[in-house]
């Protein structure tokens, strides 16, 4: 599973583009994973959007993760679910999910990352790594020192989310992230595909420099 | 499965009582089924409330149904899920649910009731049967003629929901409902248990008179 460039769709900053169209443009630029996150949508509307993104990501060979709603993820055949602190408990999701189903967890410290792994998470996302305007509930950033500490303590894929830009992505990778999850740095850009391609290149260069 | 008295918890009209406390008082008065419905809650908060209601209903031998969130229903070991028009599609829920898991569907006509049965619903709820102030999205009532028409056409347990009171429950049962689902007629009353007991008695009398 590659999480190098992990794009979270957001219709509210997506210039009128649908979740599926944002996903299509992002994977065209090389996004490895797409997460559908929209707390405003009804179960049915989320299901409909997820069904569309499942097609887009399947055709592109990208991972597809649904935020919070495990039932929607399972119903559309998504690859996994991403769980934040206010979502279903990780352990319960693990018991309901079939083998191979990916469960990602938002964490804010080494302790919560360790616990997420114990409860069955397949990857952890430090959220927010930097302060951000994209997620209303995100708060101040935890910073690269916490990112590196999690890297050292938890043997799971580690994604940085929150405030990642073309300007700081190299530092984030250098600090130990396996990938970065972004909203506005891609979905909020005029040319979504070009923004994805640019970020993906920067990640590849930073990873090459880390070896 | 008995659906005679089916109570939907609602904290917003419950005089400060929690979902679980409302459920406890309702089953103490003889409620056969409890549905947790709260579109405001996060996945985690809904899970927490559902876990509590699962205990209350289990101890009382009452059915426990979660609205919309199949994942939460499965995670807490609820007996079933209730799906409205803006929730997950019935057929997809059926495929994800284990054998014996109850799937209920809101319907508004004979045609939607027939389709719900074809898609795998275990019971149908005519919603709203009468106009109601409890659910913002409910609209005008479909009435007892539609209820009777569904009764004649669809061989599934039939629940009437919306605008049911102590004053009209006998007519609803006489028109062919197997049970009534209520919010304000029980959850909004000063004495929840007494209101449940009264409604349950009226349903029993009406059913006896129907034979
Ligand atoms: Ni929701």
pLDDT tens track of chain A, all 211 residues?
Answer: 799 999 999 888 878 899 999 999 999 999 999 999 998 999 999 999 999 999 999 999 999 999 999 999 999 999 999 999 999 999 999 999 999 999 999 999 999 999 999 999 999 999 999 998 655 555 789 999 999 999 999 999 999 999 999 999 999 999 999 999 999 899 889 999 999 999 999 999 999 988 7
**B129 closest CA partner among B86, B87, B102, B168:** B168
Chain B's closest residue to A93, CA to CA, is B75
Give mean pLDDT, residues B105-131: 97
Can you list the pairs that A83-88 forms with residues at least 24 positions away whose Cβ atoms lie under 8 Å? A83/A121, A84/A127, A85/B44, A86/A137, A86/B42, A86/B43, A86/B44, A86/B45, A87/B42, A87/B43, A87/B44, A88/B43, A88/B44, A88/B47, A88/B71, A88/B72, A88/B75
Residue B84 pLDDT > 90, yes or no? yes
A106 carries an active-site annotation: yes
> Any CB–CB contact under 8 A between B96 and chain A?
yes
Any idea how long chain B is? 211
Mean pLDDT of B134-155: 86
Q: How far apart are CA A13 and CA B201, in angstroms?
A: 55
Contacts of B75 in chain A (CB under 8 A): 88-89, 92-93, 95-96
Task: List the Cα angle A165/A170/A176 in 5-degree steps.
Answer: 115
Rounded to the nearest angstrom, the minimum Cα separation between B55 and chain A is: 17
B144 has a pLDDT exceeding 70: yes
pLDDT tens for B172-207 read 999 999 999 999 889 889 999 999 999 999 999 999
Contacts of B72 in chain A (CB under 8 A): 88
Q: What is the model's pLDDT at position A210?
A: 80
B71 lies within 8 A of chain A by CB: yes
Domains of chain A: 5-210 (3.20.20.70)
Task: Round the average pLDDT of chain B to a whole number and report it.
Answer: 94
Instruction: Using pLDDT thresholds of 50, 70 and 90, give the confidence band for residue B98.
Output: very high
The C-alpha R_g of chain B, in whole angstroms, comes to 16
Residue A47 Cα to chain centre, angstroms? 19
Average pLDDT over residues B124-143: 82
Q: Rounded to an integer, what distance in angstroms lies between the CA atom of residue A46 and that of residue A69?
A: 9
Q: Which of A37, A54, A69, A200 is catalytic?
A: A37
What was the pLDDT predicted at B63? 98
Q: How far apart are CA A159 and CA A181, in angstroms?
A: 6
Cβ B53 vs Cβ A98: under 8 Å: no
Q: Residue A132: its pLDDT value, please?
A: 81
Tokens of B28: 């103490």
Supply the pLDDT for residue B13: 82
Give the pLDDT confidence score for residue A136 in this predicted structure: 55
CA A143 distance to own-chain centroid: 17
Question: Nearest-CA distance from A93 to chain B in Å?
Answer: 7
Q: Provide the ipTM.
A: 0.92
Chain B touched by A119 (CB under 8 Å)? no
Show residues of chain B in contact with A89, CB under 8 Å: 44, 47, 75
* pLDDT for residue B135 is more than 60: no
Q: Is B159 helix (H, G, I), strand (E, B) or coil?
A: strand
Residues 6+ apart with CB under 8 A from A61: none
pLDDT at B210 over 90: no
Q: What 8-state DSSP symbol labels residue A68?
A: S
CA distance A143 to A131: 9
The whole-number pLDDT of residue B143 equals 96
Q: What is the CB neighbour count within 10 angstroms for residue A179?
A: 26
- The confidence score (pLDDT) of residue A138 equals 59
Average pLDDT of the residues in B19-43: 95
d(CA A173, CA A207): 7
The pLDDT value recorded for residue B15 is 80
Of B42, B74, B96, the CB nearest to A87: B42
For chain A, what is the radius of gyration of the CA atoms?
A: 16
Query: In this model, does residue B91 exceed pLDDT 80?
Result: yes
């Amino acid at each position: 599973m590659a999480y190098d460039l992990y794009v979270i769709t957001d219709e509210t900053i997506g210039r009128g583009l649908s979740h599926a169209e944002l996903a299509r443009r992002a994977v065209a630029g090389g996004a490895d994973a797409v997460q559908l996150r929209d707390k405003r949508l009804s179960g049915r509307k989320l299901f409909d959007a997820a069904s569309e993104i499942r097609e887009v990501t399947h055709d592109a060979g990208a991972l597809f993760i649904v935020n919070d709603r495990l039932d929607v993820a399972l119903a559309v055949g998504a690859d996994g679910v991403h769980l934040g602190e206010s979502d279903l408990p990780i352990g319960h999701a693990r018991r309901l999910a079939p083998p191979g189903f990916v469960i990602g967890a938002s964490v804010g410290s080494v302790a919560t990352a360790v616990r997420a792994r114990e409860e069955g998470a397949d990857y952890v996302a430090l959220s927010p790594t930097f302060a951000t305007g994209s997620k209303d509930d995100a708060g101040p950033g935890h910073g690269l020192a916490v990112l590196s500490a999690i890297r050292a303590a938890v043997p799971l894929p580690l994604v940085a989310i929150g405030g990642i830009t073309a300007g700081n992505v190299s530092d984030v990778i250098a600090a130990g992230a396996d990938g970065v999850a972004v909203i506005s740095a891609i979905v909020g850009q005029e040319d979504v595909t070009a923004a994805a391609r640019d970020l993906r290149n920067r990640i590849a260069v930073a990873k090459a420099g880390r070896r």
